[in-house]
Structure 1
């Protein structure tokens, strides 16, 4: 990994602001992801009510992602970014005032709307602000910035909830508001790169139909959905399929830390080699990791080494494929279709996380956690085959770039 390449990305206008905004916003999300459901339980909600908190968050996120383009056209990039940070952060203060389920659901819906804005704008900005030939490196750095809060806060959540009062922890979800000093500069930097003048012949490139773009990026989106389903299943049910809280925390740390590093490293790698072999290798890695997790969960004596190894392998694939699929999707779609690509990729990520949790929960109820992970491993093996034999999608006819 070239330090010079990383430095060139960091010197690109807007990139430092993007990393700062992303880190603050995702810190607020990662902190409350496990804490808000626990706050609802403390107020008397049952397990369904606690699960409903996360469901409302993801639903509001997806709905907001579909509205980001209209928002950008109406109020511009700086105000849209500020709106996303405020919606993601300020409702946490209101949520800390009441543990009633309805209040938590309403404030969570507002936070989901903010998160939807931040995710679409962040992915689009990473591609738009990247120096020429360094799109993968920019996406990898952005991925690292938004993954590190999860590495720090997800495994620490049980300790925080056992040490501090829940209202105080919920109030700390206001962290995204701290990103406001950087949203204006970031928004202006993106507008400077995306509001390019017409070509010399006076023509302006228009986005392709959404269905056309989705056909081009179907394969990377499918791979993303499946690997995030596996990752989401582990993040949701780690306390249930591990033998002790310490092992659950260690396993989550192994998954999230490896994913963060892989997301960064594979972003850099995407600028140097073709994405298909890397995608196939990472999908095979996920397949092996899921198989090891299935064997470890089934073992009566609790095969700790096999479990942690499986989580490390899955973490590498989970993080690496996030960067690889995003870079590949942007390349296949074309610069004029960045917004549609960003929305589709983020919806695929969120849908995969939710579907994976649902699928593993149903499998555990009908059979065992081991059976659920085994099925996921088989699906990932089929994914490897599909990546290898699939024809390379055509990005369409060459188009004049909209960027300077």
Structure 2
């Protein structure tokens, strides 16, 4: 199998004070076939990155991909898998990789559900060790414990796909055997976060009819390690897509419309450890899909209208400290992952070179930008060949100055 991957590296220049891009360490785009999109990023044990997403025209029935890079985002290997998107990924202590992919991402509440999911384990080079199809269930996120894989997402009734989607919490062993599943009626799950007591926090969306804040709501739920529900706090008018911990509780981000919509208002919601609302902050976009600690602040990434990416930072009190809306580039950001050295890797897609390419930004809260050499106008090119299973991929890396 031969895949062609074009990788473009952008080198930053001077940025004004208060601009998030004064902290930019690297900016790379990847073209795998046509229309490449990054959905999830995991830092590997060797400090490289494991990136998952979607790319068209790889193989007829395999549009989901995993890619391993070095710490600077340079490609080491790439593999394609059944399904359309790799939605979540986690590395084991032995270097093997668990990933969850899905065949469709509908706009919940706007159209009937369809598709299935896949849970897989690959070796350190992306070759499949085992893969299980998960019928009528679409993965949203996963967590790996010492002995189990926790998979959450949204599901539907295949006999009546027009029915409202519901959430699920499934536990698997490391061989892919299903141990148990818990369902949450009318409450699709988008993200799972480990709690201090060994349980988990879930965030997602639900429909509330005749609410003053609209029909859509978000929720924060606490479950035990087996998925048994302990409590739920509903946030009217705020479907929630991601969560991180704060000094006083949790920060959750989302919007006002169902997942996949390109309209609405992005929001950040601060709550205490017992889910008491502390503060809400509007954000410069239609939806915020990812959040991560960023130095003493928080970095949030998502989409802004009509089809453009945005990044923002918030203070611990919830004040907007910087933001960037990419109104000249179609695209959106879906992933923001904290790295061991304090940097944050942000992923999504954009049309910086005309076609839809996966976009990776690495932002450092303490490092200042590298000045642009005056003599370095134009572009530089580096090419390499990397091993990919039985074949190889040609990797072009372009430095933008």
TM-score (norm 2): 0.24
Structure having the higher strand fraction is: 2
Structure having the higher helix fraction is: 1
TM-score (norm 1): 0.24
